[in-house]
Amino acid sequence: MNTASPDRIPDNLPDHIQHYIDGAFVDSVDGDTFDVVDPVTSQAYIKAAAGKKADIEAAAAAANAAFHDGPWPKMLPRERSRILHRIADIVESRGDAVAKTESYDSGLPITQALGQAHRSAENFRFFADLIVAQVDDVFKVPGRQINYVNRKPIGVAGLITPWNTPFMQESWKLGPALATGNTVILKPAEFTPLSAGLWPGIFEEAGLPKGVFNLVNGLGEDAGDALVKHPDVPLISFTGESGTGRLIFGNAAPFLKGLSMELGGKSPAIVFADADLETAIDATIFGVFSLNGERCTAGSRILVQRSIYDEFVERYAAQAKRVRVGFPDDPATEVGALVHPEHFAKVMSYIEIGKTESRLVAGGGRPAAFPEGNFVEPTVFADVPRTARIFQEEIFGPVVAITPFEDEAEALELANDTRYGLAAYLWTNDLKRAHNFAQAIDSGMVWLNSNNVRDLRTPFGGVKASGLGHEGGYRSVDFYTHQQAIHITLGAVHNPTFGK
């Protein structure tokens, strides 16, 4: 039996996890806590403050005071940019420590956690540069009128983040929200609150004014619900499961809040017979098994043209069996431990469902070397019908469904035959087919002959049950700012006269 190294425990692990409100670490108003579970042992290892309505009220008061009375929204873009660059520098300099905390918190393999830490720094650096380069529209009618757009921060942004790559996902929202002059309340996922506690020290060292950043831990039905319903929090950016997104949409509607929601996915990877087969197999293996399969953009439905289907399945299954499952702190590990026993049970239940719906060709259970913890073998099902639950429903783990198709028409029908529409991956050497097929797929993002390599300037978001709105690049600036149109008359006033 394997045993985890004690060295995987992060340095300076706190006695318990607290909120951070108005520049100070605090416990919940009612003193309530909840257990945080180690993905490797499935045992609770720390208590976290359980935020409720009173804690959200305190955070909202601090954030609103910082917005209306503090310097942050009034700073020049260049001044905010300097602080964001300092944040990026600090995150980069602490990359190893951030990755170790993130890996311990979520079960993510340490090498992948390190990549996510670097991406977190890059998110801040990108928006630090973007707000300095930001230009706004001016519309001229020579000699008569000038019309220009004035951007203004909106107020307090409520940021609700998921448990997969939590630190990076938090940076993804914090970067643009802060860059545009808003103040924030972060509500991290209850499964992974540990790494969120790194932000206060980073922000304080970078010189972020007190009250601009606030952190409230807690359950979604308590802290998250209170944040969504708070009348003084006009923006909600949420990443998570589609059902929760629908609930947030309904709860935010009476307040007419700005909403950005990145939800679930069941993304197809379509492999045509003319594709580079080895590259396609490598990419689709990585696309579903990296980040433990806990990624919204995972290519978890692989559609393969019939003429190469048998060869693809045989080679794919053989390679999946060689994917290394191990302790998250081992640099050789490719798939670590799933985040929580509840999620482990969900993924395992889908594997059992899959065994009744299709043909199991790799994995299918817990690795023999790991009798404890949330470890799952990379699992591959072939001959999966479109009606199967493992074809239609988001599993969010290291499980993939492979389905054959005859021609482009059938491939497109299968690709679009789910309620989701977040990402898609297309493998073909036919340039005309690639562009026409990509544009016909119902998804917010498509990668042609590429893995999920995203340019931060591009929009991120989905269609159907995969989301509402887009963020990324200038779309984030649009979401986190008011666009105020100002009109100036330069000539004679065009003023129809009534009542004269």
Whether 262 is catalytic is yes
Nearest CA to 177 out of 100, 95, 80, 273 is that of: 80
Rounded CA gap, 329 and 153, in Å?
Answer: 41
Taking a C-beta distance cutoff of 8 angstroms, is the pair 264, 271 a contact?
Answer: no
Contact 151, 484 (CB under 8 A): yes
Is 92 within 8 Å of 136 (Cβ atoms)? no
Alpha-carbon dihedral sign for residues 247, 253, 255, 257: positive
CA 364: distance to chain centroid? 27
Q: Rounded distance, CA 204 to CA 292, Å?
A: 33
CA distance linking residue 54 with residue 13, whole number of Å: 27
Helices (H), 230-305: 242-252, 277-289
The span from the CA of 219 to the CA of 188, in Å, is 9
| The two three-digit tokens of residue 457, written as one number | 């300037």
Catalytic one of 296, 334, 377, 471: 296
**Rg for the chain, CA atoms, rounded:** 24
Angle between helices 77-93 and 110-133 (to 10 degrees): 170
Catalytic residue among 190, 262, 294, 357: 262
* Assigned token pair, 238: 């949420």
Q: Which two tokens stand for residue 410?
A: 């059938």
The CA-CA-CA angle for residues 164, 212, 104, to 5°, reads 25
One-letter amino acid of 373: G
Instruction: Report the candidate in 157, 255, 165 with the shortest Cα–Cα distance to residue 213.
Output: 157
Extended strands (E) in 247-377: 258-262, 268-271, 301-305, 359-362
334 catalytic residue (yes or no)? no
Question: Apex CA 309: angle with CA 304 and CA 311, to 5°?
Answer: 130
- Among 177, 233, 251, smallest CA distance to 60 is for 233
Q: How far apart are CA 243 and CA 470, in angstroms?
A: 18
> Cα–Cα distances in Å, from 41 out to 2, 244, 254, 275, 499?
12, 28, 43, 42, 81
Nearest Cα to Cα of residue 10 among 104, 88, 87? 104
Give catalytic residue positions. 262, 296
